[in-house]
Amino acid sequence: MALKQSLKISQGMTMTPQLQQAIKILQMSTFELQQEVNNILAENPTLEEVDDPIENNEGPSEKLISEVEPKDPVELLKEDFDWENYLQNFSNISTQGVYTSKDELPQYDQFIASKTTLYDHLLWQLGVSVRDSKLIKIGEEIIGNINEAGYLSCMVEEVSSTLDVSVEKVQEALNLIQKFDPVGVGAKSLKECLCIQARLLPDKDDLLFIIENHLADLENKNYTVVSKALELPIESTIKLCQIIHGFEPKPGRPFLNEHVLYAVPDVFVIKKKNEFKIVLNEEFIPRVRVSKFYQLQAQKKKIKLETKKYLKGKMKEAAWFLKSIEQRQSTVYRVAEQLLEKQKDFFENGIPSLKPLILKEVADALGLHESTISRVTTNKFIHTPHGIFELKFFFSNKISKGNTSVAAQSVKQLISDYISNESPKRPLSDQQIVDLLKEEGIKIARRTIAKYRESLGILPSGKRKKYF
């Protein structure tokens, strides 16, 4: 076999860094885009933020770059400022008459810098409860292995091996911690956690019997089985079970530092004079532009070649970045227009009027690929007259309803409505929901009802039943 050279011409598509950046920005949420803009501002000196807001927000902004001429940074440095007079006035500010009544004083809880953690709370109790330094050391090791929910995440033998102390001494420290606030802390399982709480109550023997032997029956609300085992009337058994249901399964819950996540709409659909209007939310996106100062610097002949090359490279990156943002805003707006057109009944009447819709329909209407529509609808929200929804919410499979079809989301809403209006003592079974939907002309299998119910976070009928 001989080696030889040959010439071949072919076409191919390469994912350039600019294209990768455009795709990345396209699927960003508003908050993610805000963070990305701030990061680029810190990295690229040729980009600058503009304070003047854009007045026209009736659609995608034609220009994300403000035309207001900024002051030359060199000129700013030349501005005179009377620092001595400023400092003198600042030091002579009077503090009299700031608050005229006690009602205007801020509450003391506003001065709290941070929330006490479960770890700190338990350590404090250990410090004021024990004098034995060895026991304190063991207690600190145990507390360090208690998770946010309040459960011990290691075995007693592990602590014993780590500190080279007896298992009995570790168990003594653990028994002490389990008496701390919150009640139930330091347990190794849900059953032990509930037992710790039950031991503090008068009817502890019956409560402990139920927890240790009939926890599954308690979960499934099989109170008849528990009643027979206790040889007590059903009414007395239900009262005992009601007490256990009131226990805290996660003792560390009050100390969890949970952050509330807010859905910030990327698009607003507003109804004015029987007409819907689409407005992009650009409030959180900083207004940026290529600095005029650096543009002038790059044009000067005296500047070094390396510096000029660096500035032009950075300005090119900045231009691509601004173009990617503009393309994102334009695409989001166009998709919102299509959703408004194809789901007009929803915007008028709400979820029951939602129609089946697939990505391909919107992609074909806009002349884009389905993957582009998928990226646009990822992590983005739209504010409508009926609430805030994710853009993906409007895409749903169809389910037959007589000679027409309805969206799966509409069926889920019907299921949710049926269950919210059911009798707590006689909850609807999945088969009963099937029959109710059949009366509406919607034929759907029971297993599909179960799947939709689970996706809505709704328990089965047996676990929804309330005895008290």
The closest alpha carbon to 353, from 365, 363, 361, 342, belongs to 342
Residue 258 pLDDT: 60
Cβ within 8 Å of residue 40, ≥6 positions away: 47, 288, 318, 321
Give residue 187's pLDDT band: very low, low, confident or very high (50, 70, 90): very high
Three state DSSP letters for the chain? CCCCCCCCCCCCCCCCHHHHHHHHHHCCCHHHHHHHHHHHHHHCCCEEEECCCCCCCCCCCCCCCCCCCCCCHHHHHHCCCCHHHHHHHHHCCCCCCCCCCHHHCCCHHHHCCCCCCHHHHHHHHHHHHCCCHHHHHHHHHHHHCECCCCEECCCHHHHHHHHCCCHHHHHHHHHHHCCCCCCCCCECCHHHHHHHHHCCCCCHHHHHHHHHHCHHHHHCCCHHHHHHHHCCCHHHHHHHHHHHHCCCCCCCHHHCCCCCCCCCCCEEEEEECCEEEEEECCCCCCEEEECHHHHHHHHCCCCCHHHHHHHHHHHHHHHHHHHHHHHHHHHHHHHHHHHHHHCHHHHHHCHHHCCCECHHHHHHHHCCCHHHHHHHCCCCEEEECCEEEEHHHHCECEEEECCEEEEHHHHHHHHHHHHHCCECCECCCHHHHHHHHHHCCECCCHHHHHHHHHHCCCCCHHHHCCCC
* Domains of the chain, each with CATH number or no CATH: 118-254 (1.10.10.1330), 267-394 (no CATH), 399-464 (1.10.10.60)
**Dihedral class, residue 273 (left if φ above 0, else alpha if ψ from -120 to 50, else beta):** left
Give residue 14's pLDDT band: very low, low, confident or very high (50, 70, 90): low
The closest alpha carbon to 462, from 421, 425, 410, belongs to 425
Residue 129 pLDDT: 85
Give residue 15's pLDDT band: very low, low, confident or very high (50, 70, 90): low
Mean pLDDT over 124-145 rounds to 89
Residue 2 pLDDT: 67
pLDDT(189) > 80: yes
Tens digits of residue pLDDT in 210-247: 999 998 888 888 889 999 999 999 999 999 998 998 89
d(CA 200, CA 55): 65
d(CA 20, CA 38): 19
Residue 169 pLDDT: 93
The closest alpha carbon to 408, from 457, 357, 341, belongs to 357
Around 230, how many Cα atoms within 13 Å sit in the side-chain half-sphere? 28
The closest alpha carbon to 66, from 58, 54, 76, belongs to 54
**Pick from 269-283, 287-301, 310-324, 353-367: least confident:** 287-301
Give residue 260's pLDDT band: very low, low, confident or very high (50, 70, 90): low
180 token code pair: 């701390």
285 token code pair: 């996106």
